[in-house]
Structure 1
Amino acid sequence: MVNSRSRFARNIILVENNQFRSSQLTPSVGTLGKRRKAPLPNRRALRPTRRLTKSNDIVKRAPVSGKLTRNLNQIHEMKIIDVENWNRKEHFNFFSKMASPYFGIVTEVNCTKAYDIAKENGYSFFAYYLHKSMIAVNVVEELKYRIVNDNVVSFPVINAGATIGREDGTFGFIFVHFSSDFQAFNAELQKEILSVQNSKGLRLNDDDIKKDLIRHSTIPWTSFSGLLHPTNFTQDESVPKITFGKFSMRDGQKYLPVSIEAHHGLVDGFHLAKYLTEFQNQLDK
């Protein structure tokens, strides 16, 4: 038979950043270093809650079911935005009421120098420009905003999600942790690509519930000047999407088509332009 503290500790998750608290788990266990007798929680209290609230306490969340608890690494360091005092409060509330709050830009970037550098060093051009895109994404704070459990949150780092094609015409999803070091990023990317080639189906790996990523796609067979994404119209759908196409030649220069789409309650055209400007800067280095 276990004591009440052991039973309670077994049914909660303690997250280290000390910024969140489930509003329904009320029993106190004090600090981690101090033993205090805690009352036994009832079964209802151990159900996963929908809302996180700001607090100086640690997070207490029941590890039973629910998308957020299955991806604890995603909430480890995320910060909740105080919407009531946010300069985007009205923007967020206005666009979030729409059935489709998403908007996007389709443009192109000059990839001539990046292509030459990739080929000179024996790099995959796709890997090279994907990494440059991820650097640009992580420069723009607004592209780190997501909606999680009815809260606007900011992740410290955004990782790369992408689609990889197979010889049979299907594709699978990959997930690559962001690193500013290209060699480290590319090493994980190549492992993910190999895994797709040796698998079937979408290879979701919880990609449908991850939030700390940008979803990239590439259409290497054709260029484009417009693009429409499939979208899950739910209130918490907030992961931006970036798509690349086949580069085209013009006046001796290579131009890569780029589409970027985001939730307008979190991101404006100004922020997408910041991404595109930084992406071009990275390609030119």
Structure 2
Amino acid sequence: MTPAYTPEFIAPIDAPFERGPQLRWFDALDDPRLNVTAELTAPDFVSIAKAQGLPPFAVLFHAISGASLDVDAFRWRLTDTGEPFRVNALLPSYTVRNAKGHVNFSYVPFTEDLNAFITAYHADKRDAETATEMRTNVETAPTCGQLYCTGLPFLRFTSIEHPRSGGGALAATPNIAAGQWRRETEGQLSLPLSVQTHHGLVDGVHVAAYFDAVRDRLARFARG
């Protein structure tokens, strides 16, 4: 079973969309997606998370999710008929491995309360790991404020492409991938971070702002 969807996840636009020209241009292309992969340098949240008994990836997943609400361009999605709307909450998902080692998806409703988020993270992770069906949540996408995340802690990739199907609403949900981290200077680490978005909604400058937002959230966690 996938998590129940509630309409509070959506805040429809009630005024003309200012990126209308960009949306029409890019959405008419064969593939409107923008893909950017870069190295993120951040405070060593991993050591701090482990010292607190928290899963480091859950802390990173929380920052990745919350940062998408910090940058307004990342809040925008498209309905099935191509109408833009702005989300005010998230149902982010990330990839897990089931008992046979195959991919499945876990869903964790986002809350700013990190402890509550991690409690929900643990609960749904168990369900995802033991599920035999694919937990795709397609019944409620894309209008439930989803954010697609992938963790590859075993690989320090330099680029990545996600499975795709058409443009419009299918391209409007951001795909975020985080790779293997390593410690750099004292108190700092780095990791590859990849962002795939609909270029009609998000430009490169917004991706740069998103990287900054992820870094800022990890820094706030590190400061306690």
- Tell me if TM exceeds 0.5: yes
1:93 equivalenced with 2:24 (yes/no): yes
TM-score by length of 1: 0.69
Distance 2:191 2:59 in 1: 13
Task: Indicate if the aligned counterparts of 2:60 and 2:218 stay in contact, CA closer than 8 A.
Answer: yes
Matching residue within 160, 166, 191 for 2:98: 166
Task: Indicate if the aligned counterparts of 2:98 and 2:130 stay in contact, CA closer than 8 A.
Answer: no
Task: Indicate if the aligned counterparts of 1:172 and 1:203 stay in contact, CA closer than 8 A.
Answer: yes
TM-score by length of 2: 0.87
1:127 corresponding residue in structure 2: 58
Task: Indicate if the aligned counterparts of 2:9 and 2:90 stay in contact, CA closer than 8 A.
Answer: no
1:271 equivalenced with 2:180 (yes/no): no
Distance 1:226 1:239 in 2: 19
Mapping of residues 49-198 of structure 1, within 5 Å: 73-74=6-7, 77-80=10-13, 82=15, 85-148=16-79, 149-198=81-130
1:254 equivalenced with 2:186 (yes/no): no
Distance 1:111 1:207 in 2: 36
Q: Deviations over 1:165-224 (max 9, x none)?
A: 234220211111110000111111111100012212422233772431110011121101
Distance 2:25 2:137 in 1: 33
> Measured at CA, do residues 190 and 214 of structure 1 come closer, stay the same or move farther in structure 2, by a change above 3 Å?
same
> Measured at CA, do residues 263 and 77 of structure 1 come closer, stay the same or move farther in structure 2, by a change above 3 Å?
closer
**Percent identity (aligned):** 22
Q: CA RMSD in A?
A: 2.0
Distance 1:77 1:209 in 2: 12
Q: Which has the higher contact order (CA 8 A, sep 6+)?
A: 2
Distance 2:139 2:160 in 1: 22
Query: What code does the residue aligned with 1:269 have?
Result: G
Matching residue within 236, 246, 249 for 2:169: 236
Count of paired positions: 213
2:179 corresponding residue in structure 1: 245
Gaps of 5+ in 1: 1-70
Q: Deviations over 1:19-42 (max 9, x none)?
A: xxxxxxxxxxxxxxxxxxxxxxxx
Q: Deviations over 1:202-251 (max 9, x none)?
A: 22233772431110011121101111111111432110100011113444
User: Runs of at least 4 residues of structure 1 off by over 6 A?
Assistant: none
2:156 corresponding residue in structure 1: 223
Gaps of 5+ in 2: none
Cα displacement (A) at 1:111? 4.0
Task: Indicate if the aligned counterparts of 1:176 and 1:188 stay in contact, CA closer than 8 A.
Answer: yes
Cα displacement (A) at 1:152? 0.8
Distance 1:208 1:162 in 2: 16
Distance 1:248 1:241 in 2: 22
> Measured at CA, do residues 284 and 168 of structure 1 come closer, stay the same or move farther in structure 2, by a change above 3 Å?
same
Task: Indicate if the aligned counterparts of 1:171 and 1:201 stay in contact, CA closer than 8 A.
Answer: no
> Measured at CA, do residues 106 and 246 of structure 1 come closer, stay the same or move farther in structure 2, by a change above 3 Å?
same
